[in-house]
Amino acid sequence: MREIVAFFLLIQWSTSDNSSLGIVKHTVHKEWFENHKSNPSPLHELSAELSESQTSIIIRWSINIDSSIRSLVGTWIILSEESDSRYRCQYQPPFTSERINLTGQEQLWFSFTVPNVSACPSTSYYIFAYNMPTPTDGANEEYAKKTQIDEVQWNADIYSVLHGDKIVVTFNTSLVADRHTILLTNSTYLPLRTVGGKGECKVEKCEVKLDYMEYMGPCEDLTIWIKPHFKDCQDKSEWKDQKVNCTNRSALDIGVGCMMALLFVLLCCCIMCQTFRWIRGMRRAASVRVLLVYPAVDSVFQRSVMLLAESLQSRGGIHVVIDMWERGSLAEQGPLRWLNTQADLSERVLLISPPQCTHTAIFLPWPSTSLPVLPMTHTAGTSSGSSTWGMMRRVCRLSSEAAGCSFCRET
Sequence letter at residue 375: P
106-147 tens-digit pLDDT:
888 998 888 877 767 667 788 889 888 887 766 666 788 888
Judge whether residue 69 has pLDDT over 80: yes
pTM for the full predicted model: 0.44
Confidence of residue 298 (pLDDT cuts 50, 70, 90): confident
pLDDT of residue 379: 35
pLDDT band at 98 (very low <50, low <70, confident <90, very high): confident
Selection from 40-44, 170-174, 213-217, 405-409 with the highest mean pLDDT: 40-44
Which one is predicted more confidently, 255 or 200? Answer: 255
Which contacts (CB < 8 Å, 24+ apart) does range 273-279 have?
A: none
CA–CA distance, 361 with 316 (Å, rounded to integer): 38
Residue 393 has pLDDT above 80, yes or no: no
Q: For 257-266, how does the pLDDT look when each residue is reduced to its tens digit (9 = 90+)?
A: 788 888 999 9
DSSP for residue 173: P
Residue 308 identity: L
pLDDT for the residue 46: 92
- What Rg do the C-alpha atoms of the chain give, in angstroms? 53
DSSP code for 144: S
Neighbours of 350 (CB within 10 A): 23
Per-residue pLDDT at 59 exceeds 80: yes
The answer to whether 409 and 324 are in contact (CB under 8 A) is no
Query: Do the strands 288-294 and 348-351 form a parallel or antiparallel pair, or are they unpaired?
Result: parallel
Average pLDDT estimate for 313-336:
74
pLDDT at 61 over 90: yes
Nearest C-alpha neighbor of 181 from the set 150, 145, 204, 208: 208
Range from 33-42, 87-96, 365-374, 396-405 carrying the lowest mean pLDDT = 365-374
DSSP string covering 44-93: EEEEEEE-TTSS-EEEEEEEE-STTGGG--EEEEEEESSS-EEEEE-BSS
User: CA separation (Å) from 205 to 118, 158, 173?
Assistant: 22, 10, 6
Strand-pairing partners, residue 242, are 224
Q: How many CB atoms lie within 10 A of CB 24?
A: 18
d(CA 86, CA 133): 16
Between CA 383 and CA 366 the distance in angstroms is: 36
Q: How far apart are the first and last CA of the chain?
A: 119
**What is the pLDDT confidence band of residue 176, given thresholds at 50, 70 and 90?**
confident
Contact 94, 73 (CB under 8 A): yes
Banded model confidence at residue 35, pLDDT cuts 50, 70, 90: low
Please tell me the predicted confidence (pLDDT) of residue 52. Answer: 75
More confident residue, 105 or 400: 105
- In which order are the strands placed within the sheet that holds 348-351? 318-324, 288-294, 348-351
What CA–CA distances, in Å, run from 201 to 115, 160, 175, 253? 24, 15, 10, 34
Q: Poorest-confidence range of 40-54, 153-167, 236-250? A: 236-250
The share of the chain scoring above pLDDT 90, in percent, equals 3
- pLDDT beyond 50 at 11: no
- Taking every pair of Cα atoms in the chain, the longest distance, rounded to a whole number of angstroms, is 153
- pLDDT confidence tier of residue 34, bands split at 50, 70 and 90: low
With 0-12 CB in 10 A as exposed, 13-18 as middle and 19+ as buried, what is 184? buried
Mean pLDDT of 169-175: 80
Residues 270-286 have pLDDT tens digits of: 998 888 888 776 665 55
Where does residue 408 fall: left (phi above 0), alpha (psi -120 to 50 degrees), or beta otherwise?
beta
Long-range contacts of 354-358 (CB under 8 A, 24+ apart): 354/295, 354/297, 354/301, 354/399, 355/410, 356/396, 356/397, 356/398, 356/399, 357/394, 357/395, 357/396, 357/397, 357/408, 357/410, 358/394, 358/395, 358/397
Over range 157-175, report the average pLDDT.
Answer: 82
Whether residue 4 is predicted with pLDDT greater than 70 in this model: the reply is no
Q: Residue 101: is its pLDDT beyond 60?
A: yes
| 24 band by pLDDT with thresholds 50, 70 and 90 | very low
Q: Which residues contact 276 (CB under 8 A, 6 or more apart)?
A: none
Mean pLDDT (the chain) is: 70
Tally of CB atoms within 10 A around 186: 18
Reported as a single tens digit per residue, the pLDDT across 192-221 is: 666 665 545 656 777 788 887 767 778 888
Q: What is the pLDDT of residue 92?
A: 81
Mean pLDDT, rounded, for 312-330: 75
